[in-house]
């Protein structure tokens, strides 16, 4: 039986079962045999486009090398900076709003709602917007803001707040607000869910001790709960920034990037360069720059994330 025992899985973390000094166990060899083909294939599928993008960015359409000309064109395009500005503005509207609102709801529900049934209902209600396709959310927004048939103007006019038709999608600031409101509607529940779950991990004893000492709800939050939520804020920021960079669907549906370039976020801009201006070289240069910046950003923040990697 002894040869069989050597094959048995062992608790992870320890390394018995090795056949010799520096040698690999049978299990490890099996693991590599399974992993390598799969990982290799996925790695190729991910990497080849990146190589192609770099190649496209330094060649012209007929395949001759043109150096960094596409990059200078991409960086020399004022629309690029409009797109960066729009993306930054969008992020600076939606991220703080979502985090503050989500935090407020999480704290409120955590403090006031004690019934398990009601909490479960709120959980389902919060998950709901997350699974609605952004295209459908864009349709809803269109029904609300669109000129002519938008219900928002109808409501505002019938309560007498305004008498004229407000161009929600026709004025740059309002259009940005409309587009951002869609994001806030869809993603505030995500922040709520994460922070609410975080609040459940705060030990009850420390809260009770603080209350005995006469802590107000603010000091209780500031000195105890915030401590437990801090890594989660980082996590939320990480995922939401990644998502802001990929926002496309609802903006495309709602404003198409307009009026002018007011809501032309980075993703819509690259799309437009490639599929409206058919400028593959410039689009590739943009794609490479985005990929490089994302990789740098990613490597900076990833270690700080509270993820279970074991």
* Contacting another protein within 8-27 (CB under 8 A): 8-13, 15, 17, 25, 27
Find the farthest-apart pair of alpha carbons in the chain and give their distance in angstroms, rounded.
Answer: 89
* Total residues in contact with another protein, by rule CB under 8 A: 96
3 state SS of 241:
helix
Q: Is 199 in the site for another protein (CB under 8 A)?
A: no
- Token reading at 215: 């802590």
User: Closest approach of Cβ 299 to another protein, in Å?
Assistant: 8
Asked if 86 is part of the footprint of another protein (rule: CB under 8 A), the reply reads no
Residues numbered 93 to 132 that lie near another protein (CB under 8 A) are 105, 108, 123-125, 127-132
Asked if 275 touches another protein (CB under 8 A), the answer is: yes
* CB of residue 260 to another protein, shortest distance in Å: 18
b/e 20-49 (16+ beta carbons within 10 angstroms → b): eeeeebeeeeeeeeeeeeeeeeeeeeeeee
Q: Would you state the structure tokens that stand for residue 69, as one six-digit string?
A: 């000309």
Which one of the spans 59-67, 133-141, 170-178, 218-226 is the region binding another protein (CB under 8 A)? Answer: 133-141
| 8 A C-beta contact, residue 26 and residue 19 | yes
Among residue numbers 168 through 187, which ones bind another protein (CB under 8 A)?
185
Q: Please, which residue, 132 or 209, has the CB nearer to another protein?
A: 132
Instruction: Label residue 166 left, alpha or beta by phi (over 0 means left) and psi (-120 to 50 means alpha).
Output: beta
Return the residue of 6, 146, 171, 237 that touches another protein, per CB under 8 A: 146
Q: Is 49 in the site for another protein (CB under 8 A)?
A: yes
Cα–Cα dist 183/177, whole Å:
10
Site membership for another protein, residue 44 (CB under 8 A)? no
């Amino acid at each position: 039986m002894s040869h069989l025992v050597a094959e048995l899985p062992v608790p992870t973390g320890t390394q018995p079962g090795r056949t010799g000094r520096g040698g690999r166990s049978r299990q490890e060899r099996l693991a590599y045999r399974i992993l390598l083909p799969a990982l290799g294939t996925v790695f190729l599928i991910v990497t080849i486009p990146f190589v192609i993008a770099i190649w496209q960015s330094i060649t012209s359409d007929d395949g001759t090398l043109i150096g960094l000309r596409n990059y200078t064109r991409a960086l020399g395009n004022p629309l690029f900076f409009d797109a960066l500005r729009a993306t930054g503005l969008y992020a600076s509207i939606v991220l703080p709003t979502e985090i503050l609102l989500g935090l407020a709801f999480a704290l409120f529900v955590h403090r006031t709602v004690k019934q398990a049934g009601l909490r479960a209902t709120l959980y389902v209600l919060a998950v709901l917007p997350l699974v609605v396709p952004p295209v459908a959310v864009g349709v809803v927004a269109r029904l609300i803001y669109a000129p002519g048939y938008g219900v928002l103007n109808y409501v505002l006019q019938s309560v007498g707040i305004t008498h004229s038709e407000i161009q929600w999608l026709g004025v740059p600031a309002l259009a940005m607000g409309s587009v951002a409101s869609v994001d806030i509607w869809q993603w505030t529940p995500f922040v709520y869910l994460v922070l609410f779950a975080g609040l459940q991990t705060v030990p009850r004893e420390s809260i009770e001790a603080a209350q005995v000492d006469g802590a107000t709800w603010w000091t209780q939050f500031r000195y105890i709960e915030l401590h437990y939520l801090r890594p989660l804020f980082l996590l939320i920021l990480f995922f939401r920034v990644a998502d802001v960079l990929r926002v496309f669907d609802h903006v495309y549906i709602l404003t198409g990037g307009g009026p002018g370039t007011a809501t032309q976020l980075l993703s819509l801009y690259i799309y437009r360069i490639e599929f409206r201006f058919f400028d593959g070289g410039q689009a590739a240069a943009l794609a490479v720059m985005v990929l490089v910046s994302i990789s740098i950003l990613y490597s900076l923040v990833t270690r700080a994330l509270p993820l279970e990697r074991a």
